Structure 1
């Protein structure tokens, strides 16, 4: 279900140079011309709750839609909304349903952008990529996580803190990299776990050097065949992203995160993306929602062909 006011906003006109997002996003209908951006919501708090975080991300997808809707498009493009998958019969069931939706979109040659929800969304997005025809046998899938946390916890119950351990334990052909790791937010044991899985990471302290960030991303992209980009909004400074479960005391500058989005969009490897951890109840002046919408705007407008 998508609220009636999700894709609404100011209308300056209907000419190609006057369009805003809410004027181009339509309900998704299978069988259309491929190559569109298709948004999928994942309304979940369950993983955050299990991880002992602050709930509220369940309302993130609609808040992100509302923030993106009035933004002006540089050029017309094709975009659709496939609705929201909510946790109704358990987190794992919802992740499976998200995976099936993402797989279908990838097989239809669309560009899925999943709007979370807690970072437990990552399991569903990954399942979609793993189950699609885009993931050919032997292909190396890369997961680039923009995040202050590894999310490799060894907890026996799956949560927003465990998704990438779950993935890496079951798929030997996945490579994992994290940009923006906050050392004070990750125990020494988590660094050891990351090393055990062969994960690459760049600390937030080192993300102040644009050349180092670009090199880190380029080296990771060179070793994979297709890419899943996941953005946890708590990678950003709390001043621009206060509406998350765990706001960053330092964080990575928005300009750096945008540059990474540009780099992966231009790589030709990007298959699917998601944006996680938007918590509107903790937001201030919709700063986090607007920041998340700007990232979605930048990612899609540089990745999806013009209409």
Structure 2
């Protein structure tokens, strides 16, 4: 069961016309007897951001996303559930990531499609640990692909400190220890925000890299084909979206607003390709910081992404 489920946030307008439901009218609290569906699980943490010397406040992200999602129109055929929050107390990040992993694995075991609402991008290590626990019960060497929409590689060396900047380096180390393939695509990377050492680290790990400056309407089909080729080499997919991949005018409420970024209109076709592959098992959204949001722009983008991910599932 969830650590905390508060359904009071699910409120909004109600329309009198038939077939005019909204999310707040349809989502239910998760129980042990809930049928498989989309399960929203919050990760209320900005401990990793603090360790990474970023702007704290992402611990309030899950609540802000729920509020923005509540009044969106309901177009799902399947069920959706609120699975509550995993909260990080103080700097106890590793404990929180462990509890998140346990919750994600339990949701996957029960047949749910978990969408984790962050929180800093330290959420990624907990999410990955959860899907790894689920898959290792079924397969000896699962072909799990990670697709990260992000301005940053988050491949910093975790030996000194584990933070929101290290999750994929931690995952690479875990894959090596398990003799699992490390398949990682990072799309939307800002060269100005990642050192040469990080680009070299990505190259040494065989990361599929597409920079923010490569994204335009003319090149989008080629990037989609790159993603499709990546997907073919995987049996399972984990999608993680750091909202700082978006331009600052679309996502001002993040720890590190992007000077350039990739517009939502160019990200949505990639997300649809991943969603419709039949291999997406888990997704999370990271870095929403309501303290620095403007007119709830970033929260609204995050809610739209949840809406997009849950269509046709």
Equivalent residue, structure 2, for 1:154: 157
TM-score, with normalisation over the residues of structure 1? 0.95
User: Is the CA contact 2:155–2:168 (under 8 Å) kept in the aligned structure 1?
Assistant: yes
* Partners of 2:246 and 2:205 in 1: CA distance: 25
Equivalent residue, structure 2, for 1:198: 206
* Partners of 2:168 and 2:63 in 1: CA distance: 25
Residue 175 of structure 1, aligned match among 183, 186, 203: 183
Residues 245-281 of structure 1, C-alpha deviation per residue, up to 9 Å, x if partnerless? Answer: 0011111110111111110111011000000000000
* Partners of 1:262 and 1:160 in 2: CA distance: 26
Equivalent residue, structure 2, for 1:67: 68
Q: Runs of 4+ in structure 1 displaced over 6 angstroms? A: none
Gaps of 5+ in 1: none
* Partners of 2:12 and 2:138 in 1: CA distance: 38
User: Is the CA contact 2:147–2:186 (under 8 Å) kept in the aligned structure 1?
Assistant: yes
Q: CA RMSD in A?
A: 1.4
Structure 1 residue 195, shift from structure 2 partner: 1.0
User: Is the CA contact 2:250–2:263 (under 8 Å) kept in the aligned structure 1?
Assistant: no
Gaps of 5+ in 2: none
Mapping of residues 219-230 of structure 1, within 5 Å? 219-230=229-240
User: Is the CA contact 2:6–2:84 (under 8 Å) kept in the aligned structure 1?
Assistant: no
Mapping of residues 204-223 of structure 1, within 5 Å? 204-208=212-216, 209-223=219-233
Structure 1 residue 31, shift from structure 2 partner: 2.8
CA distance 1:77–1:12, shift in 2 (3 Å): farther
Residue 245 of structure 1, aligned match among 230, 255, 267: 255
* Partners of 1:197 and 1:279 in 2: CA distance: 30
User: Is the CA contact 1:13–1:19 (under 8 Å) kept in the aligned structure 2?
Assistant: no
Structure 1 residue 2, shift from structure 2 partner: 4.1
User: Is the CA contact 2:253–2:288 (under 8 Å) kept in the aligned structure 1?
Assistant: yes
Residue 95 of structure 1, aligned match among 93, 97, 104: 97
Residue 117 of structure 1, aligned match among 116, 119, 123: 119
Q: Secondary structure at the match of 1:32?
A: coil
Between the two proteins, the alignment pairs up a number of residues equal to: 301
User: Is the CA contact 2:38–2:80 (under 8 Å) kept in the aligned structure 1?
Assistant: yes
Equivalent residue, structure 2, for 1:259: 269
Structure 1 residue 75, shift from structure 2 partner: 4.3
1:289 paired to 2:299: yes
CA distance 1:138–1:289, shift in 2 (3 Å): same
Structure 1 residue 199, shift from structure 2 partner: 1.0
* Partners of 1:272 and 1:147 in 2: CA distance: 17
Structure 1 residue 136, shift from structure 2 partner: 1.8
Residues 45-83 of structure 1, C-alpha deviation per residue, up to 9 Å, x if partnerless? Answer: 100000000000000000000000000113443100110
